[in-house]
């Protein structure tokens, strides 16, 4: 079966085949290496859950109506080439180059979630997301004086309530208010308390590089895993290491909201504000969870154990090539 719809030979503007001057033969539009590269772009997709209002042939019939979703754990991690000696994503900005408080910038996009705070466009393990109730998820509530809240509320001149829109795109840059000023990425949040109404911020498309010079080791509390992450991007959660006489050598996460991710510098700043100038990141072996320190109110609940957190250990992503096999190594 033909893989592409562009034909097998490159064409001139008049439709005639382009010819290789050295061989006199038509130039192919793609070769086996291109097929292999493109095949890696189609990894990680799987079908959406079954739902009502779909005509199915039986209990075994999967959902063939809704667009496929991507499981990051199944996704090929290497850069994807295009057919013009470039890479998919070349025209997009780097995620590390997005301006601070991108969610308050002109063009920022928001999707109405309704009464449920479960994210629809954020990456995460669907198993534990699906098992959490709204009562178990800690979301930020926008300040009543927030300029962003006013835009999303969209109050009618003849009514005192909000006139919520399914999709909102900011027409101007907005100043931050209250807790908004301490965030790198807003994610899902509450606009109205009673009845509850949630919105989700959709970060603009950007490119995260496979290789970078600002790597720091990140840890999971359970199961114990380590990786390297780019400090210039809001990749993971923060984990503060206060003086040892406070938490007996362990790290305490400073998560304010469920699913929150921060840049490395943001977490360091929060840690010093909470526990003094001697506090910061460290290469911790465990985290103090909610409830283990009675004086700390619960914030992000049990699933935080399974999320990634920053440490202060420097790491470098390198590539080792052996024939056609490539291995990622970080130090």
Q: Domain limits at 278?
A: 215-318
Q: Is residue 133 part of a domain?
A: yes
HEC assignment per residue over 97-161: HCCCCHHHCCCCEEEEEECCCCCCCCCCCHHHHHHCCHHHCCCEECCCCCHHHHHHHCCCCCCCC
Do residues 174 and 230 share a domain? no
HEC assignment per residue over 8-75: CECECCCCCECECCCCCCECECCCHHHHHHHHHCCCCEECCCCCCCCCCCCCCCCCCCCCCEECHHHC
Report the distance separating Cα 326 and Cα 202, nearest Å: 33
In order along its 331 residues, the chain shows pLDDT tens digits of 455 678 889 999 999 999 999 999 999 998 888 888 888 988 999 888 887 787 766 667 788 888 888 887 788 888 888 888 898 889 899 999 999 999 999 999 999 999 888 777 765 554 445 456 656 677 889 999 999 999 999 987 656 689 999 999 999 999 999 989 988 988 889 999 889 999 999 999 999 888 898 999 999 877 788 999 999 999 888 888 888 655 555 788 777 777 788 999 999 998 898 888 888 899 888 887 544 444 444 456 555 667 889 999 999 988 776 555 555 555 5
The answer to whether 265 and 226 are in contact (CB under 8 A) is: no
Predicted structure pTM score: 0.78
209, 48, 196, 220: which is closest to 120 by C-alpha? 48
Q: Is residue 298 part of a domain?
A: yes
Beta strand 188-192 pairing with 140-141: parallel
Do residues 250 and 171 share a domain? no
Q: Is residue 89 part of a domain?
A: no
Report the distance separating Cα 14 and Cα 12, nearest Å: 5
Do residues 104 and 198 share a domain? yes
Do residues 130 and 188 share a domain? yes
pLDDT of residue 167: 97
Q: Number of folded domains in the chain?
A: 2
Do residues 132 and 186 share a domain? yes
- Which DSSP helix (H) or strand (E) runs through 271? helix 264-275
Do residues 221 and 164 share a domain? no
Do residues 246 and 179 share a domain? no
Token duo for residue 305: 């154990």
Token duo for residue 66: 């809704």
Q: Is residue 64 part of a domain?
A: no
Q: Is residue 286 part of a domain?
A: yes
Q: Is residue 59 part of a domain?
A: no
């Amino acid at each position: 079966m033909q893989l592409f719809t562009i034909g097998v030979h490159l064409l001139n503007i008049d439709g005639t085949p382009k010819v290789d001057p050295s061989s006199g033969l038509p130039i192919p539009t793609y070769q086996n290496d291109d097929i292999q590269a493109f095949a890696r772009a189609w990894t990680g997709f799987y079908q959406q859950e079954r739902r009502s209002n779909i005509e199915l042939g039986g209990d075994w019939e999967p959902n063939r109506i809704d667009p496929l979703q991507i499981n990051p754990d199944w996704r090929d991690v290497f850069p994807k080439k295009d057919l013009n000696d470039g890479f998919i994503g070349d025209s997009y900005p780097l995620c590390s180059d997005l301006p601070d408080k991108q969610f308050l910038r002109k063009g920022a996009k928001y999707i109405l979630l309704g009464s449920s705070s479960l994210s629809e466009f954020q990456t995460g393990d669907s198993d534990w997301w699906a098992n959490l109730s709204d009562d178990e998820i800690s979301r930020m509530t926008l300040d009543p004086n927030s300029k962003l809240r006013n835009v999303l509320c969209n109050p009618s001149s003849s009514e005192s309530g909000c006139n919520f829109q399914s999709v909102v795109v900011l027409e101007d840059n907005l100043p931050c208010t209250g807790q908004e000023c301490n965030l790198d990425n807003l994610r899902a949040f509450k606009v109205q308390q009673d009845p509850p109404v949630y919105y989700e911020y959709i970060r603009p498309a950007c490119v995260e590089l496979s290789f970078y010079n600002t790597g720091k080791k990140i840890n999971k509390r359970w199961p114990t895993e380590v990786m390297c992450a780019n400090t210039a991007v809001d990749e993971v959660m923060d984990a503060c290491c206060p003086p040892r006489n406070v938490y007996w050598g362990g790290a305490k996460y400073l998560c304010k909201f469920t699913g929150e991710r921060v840049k490395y510098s943001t977490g360091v700043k929060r840690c010093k504000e909470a526990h003094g100038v001697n506090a910061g990141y460290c290469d911790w072996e465990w985290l103090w969870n909610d409830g283990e320190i009675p004086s700390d109110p619960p914030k992000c609940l049990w699933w935080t154990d399974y999320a990634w957190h920053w440490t202060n250990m420097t790491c470098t992503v390198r590539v080792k090539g052996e024939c056609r096999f490539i291995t990622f190594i970080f130090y």
